[in-house]
Amino acid sequence: MKKILFSTALLAALFAAEGCKETPKETKVLTKTVTFTKEASGVLKKAATDSIVASLDIEIAEGDYETQTGLMYRKNMLDNRGMLFIFPDEKRRSFYMKNTEFGLDIIYLNSNNEIVSIQKNAQPLDPTSLPSEAPAKYVLEVNAGLSDQWGLEAGDVMVWERD
C-alpha cells in the first residue's frame, strides 16, 4: 500500500511540476535599420562645359558583402546622397533591384570616372538584370529621375574623394 501511495504522490508531483512550467516567452525578431554612412564626397560634371550639375555625399560599397547588399533593405535615400560601388577591375557590370525598396538611376563609370551608360528609373524589387553598355569600374546609384534632372549622359564625369 505504501508503494502505491508513494507512486501516486510521485506522479502527482511530476504532473504538478509539468503544469507549473513557464509557457515559452514570445520571441521578437529585431531588425536593425540600415542608415547612410558618408564616406566620400563627389561632384558630377558635364564633360562639354566642366560645369558641376550635382554635389553628393557618398557611401562606398566595396568588398563582397557591401557590393552584394548595396542599398537593399533601405526605405529611401536623400537626393544629395549616392552609393558608389568600387570594383577591383573594369568590366561589364550588371545590377538588379531584387531587394531594393525605392527606384534608382544606376550610373556606370569607367576607370577614368567617365559615365559609360545609365540605367534610368530602375524599378523597386525588380529582379531583372540591368547591364552596363561598356566596361565599368565604378557604379553610382542615385534616386530615380536624378540623372535626367541633372542632364547626365555618357561622357560626363564624376570627381570624388574619400573623406
Residue 5: the pLDDT is 44
Report whether 101 contacts 75 (CB < 8 A). yes
Smallest Cα–Cα separation from 96: which of 69, 60, 61, 62? 69
Residue 28: the pLDDT is 54
Please give the grid coordinates belonging to residue 139. Answer: 557604379
Torsion angles phi and psi, residue 120, rounded to 5:
-90, 145
Residue 23: the pLDDT is 46
- Cα–Cα dist 134/131, whole Å: 9
Residue 21: the pLDDT is 46
Please give the grid coordinates belonging to residue 125. Answer: 524589387
Name the β-bridge partners of 43.
55, 159
Q: What SS3 class is residue 135?
A: coil
Residue 10: the pLDDT is 45
Residue 46: the pLDDT is 98
Smallest Cα–Cα separation from 40: which of 18, 68, 62, 24? 62
Domains present along the chain, CATH in parentheses: 40-162 (2.60.120.1140)
Residue 71: the pLDDT is 96
Residue 31: the pLDDT is 59
pLDDT in single tens digits along all 163 residues of the chain: 445 444 444 445 444 444 444 445 555 554 567 889 999 999 999 999 999 999 999 999 999 999 999 999 899 999 999 999 999 999 999 999 999 999 999 999 999 999 999 999 999 999 999 999 999 999 999 999 999 999 999 999 999 999 9
